[in-house]
Each structure stands twice: as structure tokens, then as C-alpha cells.
Amino acid sequence: MKDNSAQIDEIRSLMGSGRLAYVRSFGCQLNVSDGEKIKGLLMQMGFGFTDDEHKADIIILNTCAVRESAEDRVFGIVGSMKKLKEQKPSLIIGVAGCMTAQSHIAEKIKRSYPQVDIVLGTSALSALPGLLLDVLHGRGFSADISEYDDFSQAAVQVRESSFKASVPIMFGCNNFCTYCIVPYVRGRERSRRPEDIISEVRQLAADGYKEIMLLGQNVNSYGNDFGDGEGISFPELIRRINDIEGDFIIRFMSSHPKDASRELIDAIFDCEKAAKHLHLPVQSGSSEVLRRMNRRYTAERYMETVDYIRSRDPDFSLTTDIIVGFPNETEEEFGETLDMIKKVKYDNIYSFIYSKRSGTRAAGFEDAVSDEEKSRRMRRLLEVQREISTEHYKRFVGRTLRVLADGVSRKRPGYLTGKSNEAIIVEFPGNEELIGSFAGVRVTGSMNWAVTGEII
């Protein structure tokens, strides 16, 4: 970790008060969490925040690399910022996040986008004050994509919510699914020390946070990188967090099915604070496609895990990620995915059309399936899932759910929206003052994307 306190003080005195920062995070929740740390550093340097890039003195784009289309979008945004910089030459523009971990991208930014002053790697957040000082001292373009942050310690953060908090428990991924860029841009798995995580959660609980979301690319392999006899497993971490005093719910993502053990499922059932919901990305219902994806489980083994969960609670809520149109996916293989979602009865699926990502193994796979066919399969998948959700949500009618109210309904005036323990969206009439607290809601009706009810 860089000791940047002297640099932070110098920036405070150089920049004075009233300066504004615009930070925009793309992609997954881990990236949003990094964005909160970047904001934490900027706050220490004396910046306030704005959602209007025209008012900003510094702009940081915290980028995602999962899809090449997302990268193109960022280049488009950076391109359009040239004008902003011409209007306000003192404006400082930085690019952070997963895109910067690819050296050809960092070089492209330096070569083709002179309006960018700073490139900041995901494991070098503490370098931000030093990079900013270089720019303020007129030393020009300044980049740091080294890896030296002590990721275990809690950083100062400006959190997006006052009642929902993300807590990364590990960084990186060892799995190398053939379609995925993450292991290349986030490196190998590194787990935070349990005592650092627990003290962060204890503080959040004391501050009144109601939802603690534990984050990692594969939380089930938490602790595997500790030496023998050191550290603890993920199920044990859940149990220890469950023992922390306070009224909060524990969620986590993502769980790799190959590592979703009975110990994990037992911990979810044993711990009263653990949400009764599991996000278990299946990606495909075909064992052959799973093999080509290098997922290291079969459809049958996945179903064994689901069966064990449902043997303990037939109504248990499951959600998943699905990739449609993986290279050379046949109609039969796609049919197996449809069979899988019908059998499992997910409450929700997050589906993606396969997107070729250079740098990954699947980018070299032959693919005879047309884009039209992939879109057709996607529509079919969503259609089938809509029927499943509509039917499956009916099981909640008449039951009382514990719901964390998190906002006002955009569709229905006077209604609040919230998430139940089971991760179901619930809409109910209520006062805005309830936002950020738990309510008991009796479910009176269901739709295909949410249930409705009234506070009891």
C-alpha cells in the first residue's frame, strides 16, 4: 500500500475547497465497490461529488472489460470528453478499472486520447493521489497499473447507499472459463484476512447498514489461497459474520457451482441472517457446452446441488446467469438449457448472448451459429423464464416476507419497492420514511418480475 497521506495533504492545499469529482463505474458490483474506494480517496483529497460531468474538475471512468462492446462505449465517452477539456483545460480525466489491465488498451489511451491525464490500475488505487500530483505539477500523462495495494484492509469509502453495503472478500479468479476475460484482468485469487472482513462488517452493522453483500468472483473458493491451517472457509466466514451483533441480512455473489458444497448450503440454513437465496450461475444446461466453457461441472452434478437445496426447502429461491449462443451451440444443446430452467424453476435469470472476447480461449473457437439465431434463442429463453417466474411467484401469495425497502416504485405512485430475504422484488404501498428499514409484507399478488403486497 502506498503511504499517500502527505500527497493527500498537498493536494488539499493545492486545490483548495469547492472542487468537484465525477466518478462513473461500469460493470459488476466489484467494480462499483472499487468506485466507492476511488471516491473515498477523492473525498480525503477535499473533493465533493457531482453527477454532472460539465461541473466536474476531475472525471474518473472506472471501466469494465467483460464485453468488447462495453470497451468501445468507454472509448466513445472518452472521445466525447475532448470537447469538455477544450472548454475547461484544467479538467483532469482519469481512466481506471479492468480495461487498464490490458497493456494494449493502456497504450491505446496514451497514444490516441491525449485528453486523458491518468490511468489507474485496479490494484493501484492508492497511487491516485501521487498520479494527480504529477498532473498538477505539470508532469503530463501519468499511469500506474502495478499491483501493490493491501487489498485486505478496509479502505475509506464513499458508499452509494446508507443501508446496503458491498464488502469484497476476495479478488481475482483462478477458473479460466473459456469465454471470460476476468482472470486476465483481475489476476489470481487473493482472499482478504477474515479478521479484516469481520471488523469491517462489525463497523457497518454498528453504523446501521441493513444488507451486507459479500463479493468475489467465486466466493466459494474463499480462503483456498491461505496456507494449511491458516484462514477459514467461506461457510465458516458466513457463520462468523452471522454472529456479529446487529439487524442485517447477509448476501453474497458469485458462487461457482463446482465449489458449492453442502457445508455452504448448511451454513445458509443454520444462519438466521443469511438470505434464503442462492445465485448459482449455471451458464448452460448442456454438459457438453459446459465442457467447452471449462466450467468443470456437468448438468447432472449441478442438479445434485439443486436437489440437496430443495430437499432442505422445496421453495428455496435460486437465480442464475445463462450464456445463450456459445460458439457452435446446437439446437439440442440450447434445448437442454431450456429443460434446465424448467426443472430448477429459477426465480430470476440473468441471460447474456455470448459475446466474443479477444484474449480468451473461446475467441478462437469456430462458431457457425448466426446472430439472428442467437437472438431468437435469447427471446425463447426469456419467454420460457417469464412463464416460470409468473407461475413460481404464486407460491408467495398469502405469505409474509421480510422486505428491505430500498426505493420508491417508478411505475406506481405511493408504492415502495424492496427486496425480500429470498431476493424477490416486492412492491407495496408505503411511506418513503420506511426506505432503508425492514418491513413485514403480506403478499397479495404476483407478476412475472415482482410480487405485490401490504405491510402488516
Residue placing its CB nearer to ligand 5AD in the complex, 236 or 367:
367
Min dist CB 354 to ligand SF4, Å, is: 12
183 binds ligand SF4 (CB under 6 A): yes
Nearer to ligand SF4, 256 or 279 (CB): 256
In a 3-state reduction of DSSP, which class is residue 434?
helix
Considering only the stretches 15-23, 114-122, 177-185, 438-446, report the one whose residues sit in contact with ligand SF4 under the rule CB under 6 A: 177-185
Does residue 182 interact with ligand SF4 by CB under 6 A?
yes
Q: Which one of residues 25, 142, 218, 305 is an interface residue with ligand SF4 (CB under 6 A)?
A: 218
- Min dist. Cβ of residue 194 to ligand 5AD (A): 26
Binding of ligand SF4 at residue 64 (CB under 6 A)? no
How far is the CA of 201 from the CAs of 171, 218, 401, in angstroms? 17, 19, 25
| Of 23, 60, 66, 424, the one binding ligand 5AD by CB under 6 A | 66
Q: Is 327 among the residues that bind ligand 5AD (CB under 6 A)?
A: no
**Nearest distance in Å: CB 204, ligand 5AD:** 25
Region from 270-278, 334-342, 353-361, 415-423 binding ligand 5AD, contact rule CB under 6 A: 353-361
Which three-class secondary structure string do you get for 360-398? CHHHHCCCCCCHHHHHHHHHHHHHHHHHHHHHHHHHHCC
DSSP assignment of 97-145: EGGGGSHHHHHHHHHH-TT--EEE-TT-GGGHHHHHHHHHTT---EEE-
Q: Which one of ligand 5AD, ligand SF4, none is in contact with 319 (Cβ closer than 5 to 8 A by kind)?
A: none
Q: Could you tell me which residues come within 8 angstroms of residue 437 by beta carbon, excluding any fewer than 6 positions away?
A: 163, 210, 404, 405
Closer of 19 and 295 to ligand SF4 (Cβ): 295
Question: Euclidean distance between the first and final Cα of the chain, in Å?
Answer: 50
Region from 150-158, 180-188, 329-337, 393-401 binding ligand SF4, contact rule CB under 6 A: 180-188
Contacting residue, 14, 76, 83, 176, with ligand SF4 by CB under 6 A: 176
| 41 versus 323: smaller Cβ distance to ligand 5AD | 323
In the list ligand 5AD, ligand SF4, none, the entry touching 175 (Cβ below 5 to 8 angstroms by class) is ligand SF4
Q: Which residues, including other chains, have CB under 8 Å from residue 181's CB and lie 6 or more apart?
A: 65, 66, 98, 357, 359, 360
The C-alpha atoms of residue 149 and residue 147 are separated, in whole angstroms, by 6
User: How many residues sit in the footprint of ligand 5AD (CB under 6 A)?
Assistant: 11
Residue at grid coordinates 408504492: 415
Distance CA 354, CA 364 (A): 13
The closest alpha carbon to 258, from 218, 313, 215, belongs to 218
β-bridge mates for residue 159, sequence order: none
The minimum distance between CB 67 and ligand SF4, in angstroms, equals 12
- Would you call 217 exposed, middle or buried from its count of C-beta atoms within 10 A (0-12, 13-18, 19+)? buried
Report if residue 180 touches ligand 5AD, rule: CB under 6 A. Answer: yes
357 belongs to the binding site for ligand 5AD (CB under 6 A): yes
Judge contact between 341 and 285, C-beta under 8 A: yes
Task: Tell me whether the omega of the peptide bond preceding residue 420 falls within 30 degrees of 0, making it cis.
Answer: no
Q: Applying CB under 6 A, which residues contact ligand SF4?
A: 173, 175-177, 180, 182-183, 217-218, 256
